Amino acid sequence: MQFDVTILGSNAAIPAYNRHPTSQVLNYNGNLFLIDCGEGTQFRMNEFGIKRGNLNNIFISHLHGDHYFGLVALLTSFNLNRREHPLFIYGPLGLEEIVQVHFKHSLTKLSYKIHFMPVFIDEPKVIYEDHALTVETIILTHRLPTTGFLFKEKKNLRKIIADKITEHNIPHHKINDIKRGGDFITETGNEISNTGLTLDPASPRSYAYCSDTVYIESFIEQIKGVSTIYHEATFIHEHEGRATETFHTTTKQAATVALLANAGKLLIGHFSARYEDLNLLLNESKEVFPNTLLAEEGKTFAIGND
């Protein structure tokens, strides 16, 4: 099952060195989830071959413009393309008003329905669920109400051993039952236990998106053992004072979060426009958490299993 994230924008508020403000697309088996939508998101989608039509859910972390200024443009393109299927947008209270005022004054009547799902910062909550995934909010500490998002694969079904199907003549309609842990009784009345028919499933994968925040440890328990974590690392560690002042994080702080959370892999991003060479940030983070990668635009990272 495909589960990966493509980086569309990796910079902090001011675009620099051909880096764009924050946006990412998570792909779960062809179902696309957009996480933040900074200016330029649509252009990056075109450039990296992201199919907008497969996008039904958009998650906005907070209302600083570098995380949503591309949204009205994207919603307008959907309208020009005569989109009909509904769109769900999860984000802070106020986002609906911001979007609607654009459409009100441009006399736009959308061809599709937008469902705004307000997100609050009182406690982590499951805000999305389908047959395969859940999305929980992660409560962050920034200058505005801000949440991250934890995408969690649901527990997988057990893997049936193909040879056992022919060996015991298992009918097709029994297979799902066995995958869920059921035993099987053969035509001659023999009971075959589930452990003799199946293998353990792969452990569920997860992706924690930790948007703008000052260094905090309060959500670490929630994301413990996460396969891949994205954490902002706006500054090098020397600029820790500036990070704290602006409610942002340094490389070493982001890496410490990944370490404490026992994450499989760390992607760092939201780079300040003051840094041209990102290797400095990468190397600092690796000193604390060796499996760090730069969330570079156009790159796709598999979640877990590598």
The string over 226-245, giving b where at least 16 C-beta atoms fall within 10 Å of a residue's C-beta and e elsewhere, is: bbbbbbbbbbbbebbeebee
**Applying CB under 5 A, which part among 23-31, 65-73, 86-94, 132-140 lies near Zn ion?**
65-73
Nearer to Zn ion, 249 or 256 (CB): 249
Grouping H, G, I as helix, E, B as strand and the rest as coil, residue 283 is helix
Place of tokens 């009182």: 122
- x-marked contacts with Zn ion along 233-272 as a string, rule CB under 5 A: ----------------------------------------
Q: How far is the CB of 155 from Zn ion (least distance, A)?
A: 34
The helix (H) or strand (E) run that includes residue 210 is strand 206-210
Nearer to Zn ion, 15 or 204 (CB): 15
**Applying CB under 5 A, which part among 60-68, 76-84, 110-118, 285-293 lies near Zn ion?**
60-68
Which is the catalytic residue, given 66, 122, 183, 212?
A: 66
Q: Decide if 261 contacts 225 (C-beta within 8 A).
A: yes
Number of residues that bind Zn ion (CB under 5 A): 3
Q: Over 122-151, what HEC string results?
A: CCCCEEEECCCEEEEEEECCCCCCCEEEEE
Name the β-bridge partners of 3. 28
Q: How far is the CB of 67 from Zn ion (least distance, A)?
A: 6
**Applying CB under 5 A, which part among 71-79, 89-97, 208-216, 259-267 lies near Zn ion?**
208-216
Q: Name which of residues 162 to 181 contact Zn ion (CB under 5 A).
A: none
Half-sphere exposure of 76 (CA within 13 A, CB side): 15
Q: How far is the CB of 22 from Zn ion (least distance, A)?
A: 6
Question: Of residues 66, 136, 284, 297, which one binds Zn ion by CB under 5 A?
Answer: 66
Dihedral Cα 21, 27, 30, 31, nearest 10 deg:
-80
Nearer to Zn ion, 39 or 212 (CB): 212
Q: How far is the CB of 248 from Zn ion (least distance, A)?
A: 8
Interaction of residue 297 with Zn ion, rule CB under 5 A: no
What is the C-alpha to C-alpha distance for residues 34 and 32, in angstroms, rounded to an integer? 7
Nearer to Zn ion, 61 or 206 (CB): 61
Nearer to Zn ion, 64 or 152 (CB): 64
**At residue 125, what are phi and psi to the nearest 5 degrees?**
-140, 150
Q: How far is the CB of 232 from Zn ion (least distance, A)?
A: 7
Tell me how far CA of residue 83 lies from CA of 54, 57, 89, 150, 162, in angstroms. 11, 14, 15, 28, 42
Tell me how far CA of residue 81 lies from CA of 69, 111, 231, 271, in angstroms. 20, 9, 34, 33
Question: Of residues 19, 44, 64, 83, which one binds Zn ion by CB under 5 A?
Answer: 64
Nearer to Zn ion, 114 or 273 (CB): 273
Question: Of residues 136, 153, 212, 297, which one binds Zn ion by CB under 5 A?
Answer: 212
130 is known as an active-site residue: no
The string over 179-215, giving b where at least 16 C-beta atoms fall within 10 Å of a residue's C-beta and e elsewhere, is: beebebeeeeeeebebeebbeeeeebbbbbbbbbbbb
The number of angstroms, rounded, from the C-alpha of 165 to the middle of its chain's C-alpha atoms is 37
**Applying CB under 5 A, which part among 85-93, 166-174, 210-218, 287-295 lies near Zn ion?**
210-218
Contact residues: Zn ion, CB under 5 A: 64, 66, 212
Give me the active site residues, please.
66
